Structure 1
């Protein structure tokens, strides 16, 4: 039986462990925190299930209060509850946000759902395609190119960016982003900032504080991948423009977040030790994985990243993916991304034992390449 949903392909995203024949599959195609779920969450499950017998609070007061406390603790930000809008995952919130726009500019390579959402809502897209970059920082060159594109498209109402960027893990230089934000605000262009992986950045590299002074910045965050629960589907939008969030809420269905997800999300945000350990361990592991993948000789390029994943290049990447799949290991092909194409891939950074398994498989299935780490 064909299980493919019309309009969707398994190749559009990572994380398709369901169609794989092996039970011991190692999924490196989806960017999910490998840390174990905190024990306090397991202990809370009976109460959360009892709460799920009731409809969610339409205002999500408890969840928004915990998000506000989290932002105060983690980033020193004072955020009013009306500046927080919970939703059914970052993708759902971004889709609703894009549906409000006239025309959209995006810089690629980028998450494929941005363009898919625009197509779904009939919104014209403009693109700035940049080549794979050896530096981990996006700066004045990218900001200037985006400004030029905005000047060419007077009907563009929104610019969508990702920080750190998916699929290559690049982050914005704060001053360059600040200049771009001021330019956009002067032209009435809203920046939709996908900050799904921002928890992996140190506080001084995040951009959330700019939204306190700039109502044209809307930040979308996820509460699932960093906390290792992507199946939960929970995220939130942040904006100092409360009127905009009211409009955004109007594009979403009632009870967009279930009682169970809202309750579990509130608990996740209180797990300070888990949050700090995840950030610290990822920093160490990312350096380890980068060095090991370079030394493996399986890839011609391993690109530096600020997130929990690495973009790689090999002329034989598609064959390598197929061979590794036979070994029960899934990588993410990026051949469906227009600015990259065949040969590029993405690998999630996980635990040391996962790296050992990957390296053993690479040694058995891949030809040796001359590898560079830009």
Structure 2
């Protein structure tokens, strides 16, 4: 039997499993587009734009010192109880959580896997709202679960008929990718319904510190064995390269999860760094996180306003990323993301989210300088794409004109007449653009995003039949190139201006 046809000793349903799609692909993009990694702006991964706490002396944190202390312990196994880490995590939440409620984790994905392994049996049903973080589905499929999708807007109206058949309901709060934040009262209501129906409510609060930590329901776990909270430190502290997070559950539930989790799931460096971060004075309301939220709010408002001015439809967000509807553009999310990446700016193509289609992107909120670069790159990409489309249309029209002459008025066009009734539309895209000759009626105007742009609104000369004939006599015969365009301008326009 050949290598390609030999059976693989895994559960059969895993053969069709696809990994979750994520942002943050800096190295991949660097290799694909030959752009140095340090020149790439990553607005696809939603990290704290304020930077790491180690950049601010008032935190009292020294990264090199913490790394050195972690390395001192690399010749011994970590203490699998993680007592100091769990104590720091409990105090960090500031909601009466105790160390016995804490389950250490190597980031979000491992925590999701741990909980699903402990709760789901093959064939069980789980509820996943759309759209949301893809790892819920991936980890549940590894366990052989039956995925049932529901709409985000239906979460608050779920009834026993739906919940009663589900082992787990996943709720990301604030939601990734939409940025929607449910209040703690709304989550509490969902949790009460889940408990009545023996359904575990898995609340992912990975971004809560960057949104509104007062909406957390971490203080409710002790009274509800069917409530589990996930926290991820990598987003709030902008250090995704050090994997660390924790779960919060009732003491009885947490004990089982701590017994079942992988031993030594935090290495000595992650343990040491994470503990120091969690011990920061003020916890979720430390000066660092308060100032982070203030920056995010200011820059989110700025970026949202600017995206609106570009014709995009950004959704209202509570956190450090913005979900954007681009359905009014002919360019889909995948092409836009690829074109942005070719210019060194990464955004999140949301087509990989469940049944969302290719009309949405997610843009991380960054600093003002970085946000301006994102906006400028979007403008540049759309301009380049528009010119490509227009030139393709011009070439197609020139090809048609070679057979039958000028094409006349395109009365089926939504914009007809864009200049005057009876205009000829063969040169819909002007071969001379931007001519920068104000004798034509064209002029420099202020663009919506700042700066000047050449406008042809008051130029109608290339839509006059006699001018079109003279232009075509050159471009059809000699083709469209720099030399022929100069000749057509001289023969057809210069004499008429």
Determine if the TM-score, normalized by the shorter chain, exceeds 0.5. yes
- CA displacement 1:284-342 (0-9 Å, x = unmatched): 11111111211233x2x111111110011213232221221111011111111223111
SS at structure 2 position matched to 1:127: strand
- CA displacement 1:168-195 (0-9 Å, x = unmatched): 0111133332222111111111101111
Q: Does 1:248 align with 2:257?
A: yes
1:290 matched to which residue of 2? Answer: 304
Q: Structure 2 regions of 5+ residues with no counterpart?
A: 1-15, 56-60, 281-285, 387-447, 449-497
Q: CA deviation at 1:346?
A: 0.6
Q: Does 1:59 align with 2:81?
A: yes
Matches within 5 A, 1:1-374: 12-19=21-28, 20=30, 21-23=34-36, 24-37=39-52, 38-39=54-55, 40-44=61-65, 45-72=67-94, 77-99=95-117, 100-101=119-120, 102-130=124-152, 142-144=155-157, 146-147=158-159, 150-152=160-162, 154-240=164-250, 242-271=251-280, 272-297=286-311, 299=312, 301-315=313-327, 316=331, 317-366=333-382
Alignment partners' CA distance in 2, 1:103 and 1:351 = 42
Root-mean-square deviation (CA), in Å?
2.2
What is the TM-score when the length of structure 2 is the normalising length? 0.66
SS at structure 2 position matched to 1:188: coil
Q: 1:331 to 1:98 in 2, by over 3 A?
A: same
Does 245-254 or 324-333 show the bigger shift? 245-254
Q: CA deviation at 1:142?
A: 3.1
Q: 1:235 to 1:159 in 2, by over 3 A?
A: same
- CA displacement 1:237-268 (0-9 Å, x = unmatched): 1012x232233234421101111101000111
2:457 matched to which residue of 1? Answer: none
Alignment partners' CA distance in 1, 2:150 and 2:78 = 41
Does 34-43 or 252-261 show the bigger shift? 34-43
Q: 1:81 to 1:270 in 2, by over 3 A?
A: closer
Number of equivalences: 345
Q: 1:43 to 1:227 in 2, by over 3 A?
A: same
Q: Based on CA coordinates, which of the two structures has the bigger radius of gyration? A: 2
What is the TM-score when the length of structure 1 is the normalising length? 0.86
Q: 1:153 to 1:172 in 2, by over 3 A?
A: closer
- CA displacement 1:114-164 (0-9 Å, x = unmatched): 11111111011211034xxxxxxx6xx5311x22xx514633121111100
Q: CA deviation at 1:205?
A: 2.4
- Runs (4 or more) in structure 1 with deviation over 6 Å come to none
Q: CA deviation at 1:270?
A: 3.0
- CA displacement 1:82-138 (0-9 Å, x = unmatched): 1101011111101111122232111111111111111111011211034xxxxxxx6
- CA displacement 1:218-248 (0-9 Å, x = unmatched): 00100111100111111101012x2322332
Alignment partners' CA distance in 2, 1:337 and 1:110 = 7
Q: CA deviation at 1:7?
A: 6.1
Q: 1:332 to 1:86 in 2, by over 3 A?
A: same
Alignment partners' CA distance in 2, 1:204 and 1:247 = 28
Alignment partners' CA distance in 2, 1:307 and 1:204 = 14
Q: CA deviation at 1:348?
A: 0.7
2:430 matched to which residue of 1? Answer: none
Q: CA deviation at 1:43?
A: 4.0
Alignment partners' CA distance in 1, 2:295 and 2:193 = 37
Q: 1:236 to 1:185 in 2, by over 3 A?
A: same
Alignment partners' CA distance in 2, 1:84 and 1:356 = 40
SS at structure 2 position matched to 1:276: helix
Alignment partners' CA distance in 2, 1:183 and 1:8 = 32
SS at structure 2 position matched to 1:125: strand
Q: 1:188 to 1:319 in 2, by over 3 A?
A: same
Alignment partners' CA distance in 2, 1:346 and 1:323 = 15
